[in-house]
């Protein structure tokens, strides 16, 4: 099987490593990729949000499967263009990708499907925003409607800050604050059959102890030692299957990876957001534990044969990933800093990296590396991930020191169960 992977982040490096390890893969290409991905796949350049350009490249490469990493190409209709060439594509149509592309659309689908989520109002006018804030009370949650790379959301008890974010964002969704531990569940689906991966937890805020602004994600671990036994089943039954059913009934079945961002509240799991693709950095941790060959799995989903696959096989133990970010992230990251200690080390996944003209590895984005390790226990995986972080030298770099720490210490409070 010849596979073309689209994207260039830490998530794509993890996908590339897993795809390359699948014995069914005879050729692996990645556009645009990064220097880390270049070690396991042939990288090439393409305008990734140009549907015809990506479909053209897939045809030229005689790809049997295209896997699309980021949301922007999906929302732009790249999967539609690839499928129109008769090539299997893992990734939803532009219509189904609206589940991530528009928070308002996602809320509408959830309401129609009876899926538990935060109560919310879509607002365009300052008066509507103010009324919604007052109805829900603090902490206030204000989300820009549209793609914002995880950074369009403000959660604050400062009413002025909430109003300011709304007025800077155009159309927004104001919603009720959900209290409880947050987690992510990734589901591989062909539009009908749906297979959950291991649940994971992401760390959205830039600073230790969940302080500072939101980021794309500063670290993750899987699975969740604190999860009630039936958690994944409950999410599949109450949230994922109704959502997939609703999208199918609308004539826009979702094929690819449905990412449910959830909070385990006192009333059970509720949706914070849906994404239309693998999460970053949770994918790095989750795929480190997946034993089932990935290309065969994604191909089965792309061609509507997921129900024929045997249950997934997982390595025992746990995985942790710690993101090493550039100075200034999540504001304006500084780029061009020399990185040492990161080349060719298994588990040091490249996100925002590039090769300078003289061949030296430099930073090229906000999240630079994702240091990913497994262990027999979560504590061991955590130690191993931080040992990888310690090998990296990058001027001005910062990372969180508390990834997976509360879970290791058994400090995560599950509402109604303490
Ligand atoms: P989103 O981009 O929707 O995932 O939001 C980013 C982050 O803001 C989430 O991962 C949560 O940590 C937080 N957040 C968003 N919506 C809510 C909510 N309704 N209640 C509590 N926290 C939220
Ligand atoms: N880890 C959050 C995201 O991928 O959106």
The pLDDT value recorded for residue 417 is: 57
Query: Is residue 202 in contact with ligand 2, taking CB distance under 6 Å?
Result: yes
Regarding whether 188 and 171 lie in a shared domain, the answer is no
Number of domains comprising the chain: 4
* Mean pLDDT estimate for the chain: 95
Ligand 1 centre distance from Cα of residue 217 (Å): 12
Regarding whether 215 and 165 lie in a shared domain, the answer is no
Ligand 1 centre distance from Cα of residue 120 (Å): 12
Of ligand 1's atoms, which has the minimum distance to the CA of residue 261? 4
Regarding whether 357 and 301 lie in a shared domain, the answer is no
Query: Is residue 152 in contact with ligand 2, taking CB distance under 6 Å?
Result: no
Ligand 1 centre distance from Cα of residue 317 (Å): 28
Residue 249 belongs to a domain? yes
Regarding whether 283 and 169 lie in a shared domain, the answer is no
Q: Where among 262, 290, 308 does a domain terminate?
A: 308
Q: How confident is the model at residue 204 (pLDDT cuts 50, 70, 90)?
A: very high
Query: Is residue 282 in contact with ligand 2, taking CB distance under 6 Å?
Result: yes
CA 242 – CA 315 distance, rounded (Å): 30
Ligand 1 centre distance from Cα of residue 176 (Å): 10
Regarding whether 262 and 170 lie in a shared domain, the answer is no
Residue 114 belongs to a domain? no
> What CATH number does residue 140 fall under?
3.30.1490.20
Whether the per-residue pLDDT at 336 is higher than 90: the answer is yes
- Number of the ligand closest to the Cα of 210: 1
The pLDDT value recorded for residue 28 is: 98
Regarding whether 202 and 302 lie in a shared domain, the answer is yes
- Find the mean pLDDT for residues 22-43: 98
Q: Which of 22, 19, 309 shows the shortest CA–CA distance to 193?
A: 309
Residue 107 belongs to a domain? no
Q: Which two tokens stand for residue 282?
A: 């949770």
Residue 105 belongs to a domain? no
Query: Is residue 279 in contact with ligand 2, taking CB distance under 6 Å?
Result: yes
Regarding whether 229 and 293 lie in a shared domain, the answer is yes
The pLDDT value recorded for residue 148 is: 64
Residue 290 belongs to a domain? yes
> What CATH number does residue 284 fall under?
3.30.470.20
* Number of DSSP helices (H) and strands (E) in the chain, helices first: 14, 24
- Find the mean pLDDT for residues 242-265: 98
For 131-176, give the DSSP string. Answer: HHHHHH-SSEEEEESS--TT-SEEEES-HHHHHHHHHHHSSEEEEP
Of ligand 1's atoms, which has the minimum distance to the CA of residue 118? 19
Lowest average pLDDT, out of 144-158, 218-232, 257-271, 375-389, goes to: 144-158
Quick: pLDDT tens for 100-148.
988 889 999 999 999 999 999 989 899 999 999 999 999 999 988 766 6
CA 418 – CA 407 distance, rounded (Å): 14
Q: Which of 370, 371, 367, 388 shows the shortest CA–CA distance to 325?
A: 367
Regarding whether 293 and 369 lie in a shared domain, the answer is no
pTM: 0.94
Residue 418 belongs to a domain? no
Regarding whether 304 and 188 lie in a shared domain, the answer is yes
Ligand 2 centre distance from Cα of residue 88 (Å): 25
List all residues 6 or more positions away from 274 whose beta carbon is below 8 Å from its beta carbon: 99, 100, 106, 243, 258, 259, 260, 261
Ligand 1 centre distance from Cα of residue 418 (Å): 23
The pLDDT value recorded for residue 167 is: 86
Whether the per-residue pLDDT at 13 is higher than 80: the answer is yes
The pLDDT value recorded for residue 144 is: 84
Quick: pLDDT tens for 348-405.
999 999 999 999 999 999 999 999 999 999 999 999 999 999 999 999 999 999 999 9
Residue 75 belongs to a domain? yes
Q: Where among 254, 278, 308 does a domain terminate?
A: 308
The residue segments making up the domain with residue 367 are 318-408
- Number of the ligand closest to the Cα of 220: 2
Lowest average pLDDT, out of 140-149, 165-174, 209-218, 277-286, goes to: 140-149
Which residues lie with the beta carbon below 6 Å from any ligand 1 atom? 118, 141, 143, 150, 153, 155, 175-178, 182, 204, 214, 261, 272-273
CA 212 – CA 329 distance, rounded (Å): 11
Regarding whether 290 and 240 lie in a shared domain, the answer is yes
3-state helix, strand, coil in the chain (%, to 5): 30, 30, 40
> What CATH number does residue 364 fall under?
3.90.600.10
Q: How confident is the model at residue 153 (pLDDT cuts 50, 70, 90)?
A: confident
Query: Is residue 273 in contact with ligand 2, taking CB distance under 6 Å?
Result: no
Query: Is residue 100 in contact with ligand 2, taking CB distance under 6 Å?
Result: no
Q: Where among 71, 90, 109 does a domain terminate?
A: 90
Ligand 1 centre distance from Cα of residue 262 (Å): 9
Using a pLDDT cut of 70, give the percent of the chain over it: 98
Regarding whether 127 and 203 lie in a shared domain, the answer is no
Lowest average pLDDT, out of 16-25, 71-80, 407-416, goes to: 407-416
Residue 237 belongs to a domain? yes
The pLDDT value recorded for residue 152 is: 79
Ligand 1 centre distance from Cα of residue 302 (Å): 30
Ligand 1 centre distance from Cα of residue 145 (Å): 13
- Find the mean pLDDT for residues 71-76: 97
The pLDDT value recorded for residue 159 is: 95
Please give the C-alpha separations between residue 209 and each of 75, 146, 212, 213, 364, in angstroms, as whole numbers: 33, 28, 9, 12, 27
CA 174 – CA 141 distance, rounded (Å): 6
Regarding whether 303 and 187 lie in a shared domain, the answer is yes
Whether the per-residue pLDDT at 65 is higher than 70: the answer is yes
Of ligand 1's atoms, which has the minimum distance to the CA of residue 178? 20
Query: Is residue 64 in contact with ligand 2, taking CB distance under 6 Å?
Result: no
């Amino acid at each position: 099987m010849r596979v073309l992977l689209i994207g260039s982040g830490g998530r794509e490096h993890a996908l590339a490593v897993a795809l390359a390890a699948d014995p069914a893969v005879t050729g692996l290409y990645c556009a645009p990729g990064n220097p880390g991905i270049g070690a396991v796949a042939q990288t090439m350049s393409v305008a990734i949000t140009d549907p015809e350009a990506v479909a053209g490249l897939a045809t030229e490469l005689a790809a049997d499967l295209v896997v699309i990493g980021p949301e922007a190409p999906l929302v732009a209709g790249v999967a539609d263009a690839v499928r129109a060439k008769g090539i299997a594509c893992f990734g939803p149509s532009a219509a189904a990708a609206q589940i991530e592309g528009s928070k308002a659309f996602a809320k509408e689908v959830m309401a129609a499907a009876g899926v538990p989520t935060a109560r919310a109002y879509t607002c365009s006018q300052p008066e509507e925003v103010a009324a919604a804030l007052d109805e829900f009370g603090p902490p206030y949650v204000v989300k820009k409607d549209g793609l914002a790379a995880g950074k369009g959301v403000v959660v604050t008890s400062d009413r002025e800050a909430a109003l300011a974010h709304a007025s800077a964002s155009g159309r927004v969704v104001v919603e009720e604050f959900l209290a409880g531990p947050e987690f992510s569940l990734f589901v591989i689906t062909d539009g009908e059959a749906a297979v959950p991966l291991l649940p994971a937890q992401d760390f959205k805020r830039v600073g230790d102890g969940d302080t500072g602004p939101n980021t794309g994600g500063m670290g993750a671990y899987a699975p969740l030692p604190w999860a009630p036994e039936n958690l994944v089943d409950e999410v599949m039954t109450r949230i994922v299957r109704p959502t997939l059913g609703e999208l199918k009934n609308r004539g826009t079945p979702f094929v690819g990876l449905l990412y449910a961002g959830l909070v385990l509240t006192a009333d059970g799991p509720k949706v914070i957001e849906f994404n239309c693709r693998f999460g970053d950095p949770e994918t790095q941790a989750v795929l480190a534990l997946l034993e089932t060959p990935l290309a065969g799995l994604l191909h089965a989903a792309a061609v509507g044969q997921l129900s024929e696959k045997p249950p997934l096989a997982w390595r025992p133990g746990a995985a942790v990933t710690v993101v090493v970010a550039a100075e200034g992230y999540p504001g304006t990251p500084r780029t061009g800093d020399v990185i040492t200690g990161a080349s060719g080390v298994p588990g040091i996944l490249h996100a925002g990296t590039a090769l300078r003209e003289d061949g030296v590895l430099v930073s090229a984005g906000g999240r630079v590396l994702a240091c990913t390790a497994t262990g027999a226990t979560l504590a061991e995986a955590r130690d191993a991930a931080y040992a990888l972080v310690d090998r990296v030298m990058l001027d001005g770099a910062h990372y969180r020191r508390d990834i997976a720490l509360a879970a290791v210490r058994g400090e995560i409070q599950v509402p109604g169960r303490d």
